[in-house]
Structure 1
Amino acid sequence: MEVNINNNLRNTKFSVLDLVPVAQGSTPLQSIQKSMELAQHVETLGFERFWISEHHNMESLVSSATPILIGHIAQGTRTIRVGSGGIMLPNHAPLIVAEQFGTLETLFPGRIDLGLGRAPGTDQLTAKALRRNRTETVHDFPNDITELQTYFSKENRNAAVRAIPGEGLNLPLYLLGSSTFSAQLAGSKGLPYAFASHFAPTHLHEALRLYHQNFEPSEQCNTPYTIACVNVIAAETDEKARHLETSLQQLALGIIRNTRKPLPPPVKSMDGIWHEMEKAQIQNMMHYSFVGSKETIKAQLSDFVTNTRVNEIMAVSHIYDHNDRLKSYEILSSL
């Protein structure tokens, strides 16, 4: 059994999704500095990529100016791929995204990924402030992706509107999703697909099935490529990892109660903090959370990769203490 686990995970890439969380008692600047330290740390550990996700109007996260942070992280690292997990395309004009990421790819050639999502990355009121008078329809996201691909293409050089820099650059696109819509779209466009199973586990298997079923080879991808984002909290023992997990559970409780605050320190027990219904809701939301020692995590992730056939695991780790977070990724890299 040990041989099967090792062979299974040896062929799986590991990456990081960073939301640039603000821990209780920390400042936004300290949080950004810790994200840089994390990126440098996982680069030395051999991780594939480091993605930052776009969120707005959240006291617990400071990843709103995503392209700026991507440039900052890329400047402070040397080899790891850096990108968006993702840019919420309905919040932006495709031309602006093409120019921003064209500039990033020009500055850091061969290291920039552009992951695209269709959720707002915030509440509806903030989304309205971002989008002003724009009303999104079901057709907008596919059309915006096509427009974005056009701006990056060499064929657009004679067009009236061009993305400079950006035009003609070989910048890989990834579609992100938590439902079957983006899965089918990614498959039909021949793009890699990343599923947000770290907070929306319900449609993971169906989305992956539809992605493979609808996949059409493209210039970027000859074969399907899938990424699953999951929660990972690894520690020296199962007991310590479960203790660290209570920070994530408290954060999730704030989401469902709409009382979002900076990431709190872990507690001895969640009993008395959440109600049974809230506990069940959070356990369902965080279904794909891999928590424990190296041996526990290895067995859990091996089963997950076997069942999903994903090419890459993208880990997000909401851990209060920065050193514990660094250690968690260190353990993950050693599987």
Structure 2
Amino acid sequence: MDTKNIRLGVLDQSPVRKGLTAAEAVQETVELAKYTDALGYTRFWVSEHHNTGALAGSTPEVLMAHLAGQTKNIRIGSGGVMMPNHSALKVAENFRTLEALFPGRIDLGMGRAPGTDRHTAALLNPSNQFREQDFVEQLYDLNNFFHDRGDPGTPMAKIRAIPQVKTVPAMWLLSSSGQSGIFAAHFGMGFSFAHFINPNGGPQAVEAYRERFQPSEELQQQQANMAIFVFCSEDEEKVERHQALMDYRFNQFEKGAGIVPIGYDDIKHVTYSAGEQERIWYNRKRVIAGTPDRVKTRLTQLAEEYNVDEIIAVTITEHFEDRLQSYKLLAEMFIS
């Protein structure tokens, strides 16, 4: 695969680095969006997480409005809006407003997980039953709201998402399993596989999406990408330190201990049990960390395995300048 045909995007979760406030983490997201816009990245997505001190991104639709106003060319999107936390009507109105302000630059990426623990999810939406059918019905309603239509004879036929605008945001389903790919194919939406969450089954999920894709009013051809944790540095020691930090974060999360802002000095002497080490080797499949040559080779291989021409990079670093540098090195490899 010609690496110059691989497009790059960003998924940013507004990570709170050790010693920083959440407000400063959000400002770093703003700076990163402007930086990757200038580098020629295709899209910049921001996430929805709740009740965590390590990630400050909780309201992507609010942050998107500011990011779109601070950038010029890059597409701005949600990665994603967690639909069980919201009503389809409110999501439609949020994104119609964004589309009115920035027509043709808005991506609505959607997930069906709550982006938090069950107790917090229950507070976000007390009626949430976590049923797959509810998610499908939300997608159906959302499409109707974006096109000012509803089933005749039902209350939905009289309801309009305000403001009414002529354009529709690009719709994507984000998933770490194959089921949402089937939904994306049925509704004629884009599909993004979260390899950074689940390193198994992604190529098969994308293939199933392509086989079942039905064109929609907005999307005539299949559109798929994959997202993965990436860190690129010319300094081997920085790569090793980064990998050690990622190992620790995954381990803490899987033990249910939560994730807090940490630095390398906090974890450099940590030892792991045989079981924990086994999980570390598994979770390293979710990450590509290395010098430019290694990162370029592995990302190209993954793009071929997935049969996609776009990679979404998720990068969390101890130091902000290393985050910027990693995205710069990626741009030098893949963006002409």
TM range (shorter): over 0.9
- Relative distance call for 1:30 and 1:252 in structure 2 (3 A) is same
Query: In structure 1, what is the Cα distance between the partners aligned to 2:73 and 2:173?
Result: 23
Query: In structure 1, what is the Cα distance between the partners aligned to 2:273 and 2:117?
Result: 24
Structure 1 residue aligned with 2:117? 123
Query: In structure 1, what is the Cα distance between the partners aligned to 2:318 and 2:103?
Result: 34
> How many residues are treated as equivalent by the alignment?
329
* Counterparts of residues 115-264 of structure 1 (less than 5 Å): 115-155=109-149, 159-264=157-262
Query: In structure 1, what is the Cα distance between the partners aligned to 2:125 and 2:277?
Result: 35
Structure 2 residue aligned with 1:78? 72
* Counterpart code for 2:9: S
Query: In structure 1, what is the Cα distance between the partners aligned to 2:57 and 2:280?
Result: 23
**Larger deviation: 267-276 or 182-191?**
267-276
CA contact (8 A) 2:7 2:41 kept: yes
- Relative distance call for 1:328 and 1:87 in structure 2 (3 A) is same
- The runs of 4+ residues in structure 1 deviating greater than 6 Å are none
Query: In structure 1, what is the Cα distance between the partners aligned to 2:253 and 2:281?
Result: 13
Query: In structure 2, what is the Cα distance between the partners aligned to 1:44 and 1:259?
Result: 38
Query: In structure 2, what is the Cα distance between the partners aligned to 1:306 and 1:267?
Result: 37
CA contact (8 A) 2:99 2:165 kept: no
Structure 1 residue aligned with 2:26? 32
Q: Is the partner of 2:227 in helix, strand or coil?
A: strand
* Counterpart code for 1:47: Y
Structure 1 residue aligned with 2:37? 43
* Counterpart code for 1:97: V
Q: Is the partner of 1:116 in helix, strand or coil?
A: strand
Q: What's the offset of the Cα at 1:272?
A: 3.2
Q: Is the partner of 2:132 in helix, strand or coil?
A: coil
Query: In structure 1, what is the Cα distance between the partners aligned to 2:110 and 2:280?
Result: 26
Query: In structure 1, what is the Cα distance between the partners aligned to 2:99 and 2:175?
Result: 24
Q: What's the offset of the Cα at 1:169?
A: 2.4
2:85 is the counterpart of 1:88: no
Q: Is the partner of 2:158 in helix, strand or coil?
A: coil
Structure 2 residue aligned with 1:321? 319
- Relative distance call for 1:296 and 1:131 in structure 2 (3 A) is same
Structure 2 residue aligned with 1:108? 102
- Show CA shifts across 1:244-300 (max 9, x none): 222222222221122223332225976634333223223323413111111111111
* Counterpart code for 1:61: L
Query: In structure 2, what is the Cα distance between the partners aligned to 1:24 and 1:55?
Result: 18
Match of 2:301 among 300, 303, 311: 303
* Counterpart code for 1:13: R
**Larger deviation: 247-256 or 309-318?**
247-256
Extract unaligned runs of 5+ from structure 2.
none
Extract unaligned runs of 5+ from structure 1.
none
* Counterpart code for 2:34: Q
Q: What's the offset of the Cα at 1:185?
A: 1.0
2:8 is the counterpart of 1:10: no
- Show CA shifts across 1:67-116 (max 9, x none): 11111211221221111000010110000001111111111222111001
Query: In structure 2, what is the Cα distance between the partners aligned to 1:276 and 1:270?
Result: 18
CA contact (8 A) 2:184 2:213 kept: yes
CA contact (8 A) 2:100 2:165 kept: no
CA contact (8 A) 2:148 2:160 kept: no
CA contact (8 A) 1:208 1:308 kept: yes
Q: Is the partner of 2:231 in helix, strand or coil?
A: strand
Q: What's the offset of the Cα at 1:167?
A: 4.8
Normalising by structure 1, report the TM-score.
0.93
Q: Is the partner of 1:287 in helix, strand or coil?
A: helix
Q: What's the offset of the Cα at 1:183?
A: 1.0
Structural RMSD (CA): 2.0
Normalising by structure 2, report the TM-score.
0.92
CA contact (8 A) 1:91 1:131 kept: yes
* Counterpart code for 2:310: E
Query: In structure 2, what is the Cα distance between the partners aligned to 1:208 and 1:29?
Result: 36
* Counterpart code for 2:116: T
Query: In structure 2, what is the Cα distance between the partners aligned to 1:130 and 1:268?
Result: 34
Q: Is the partner of 1:139 in helix, strand or coil?
A: helix
* Counterpart code for 1:317: T
Q: Percent identity, please.
A: 34
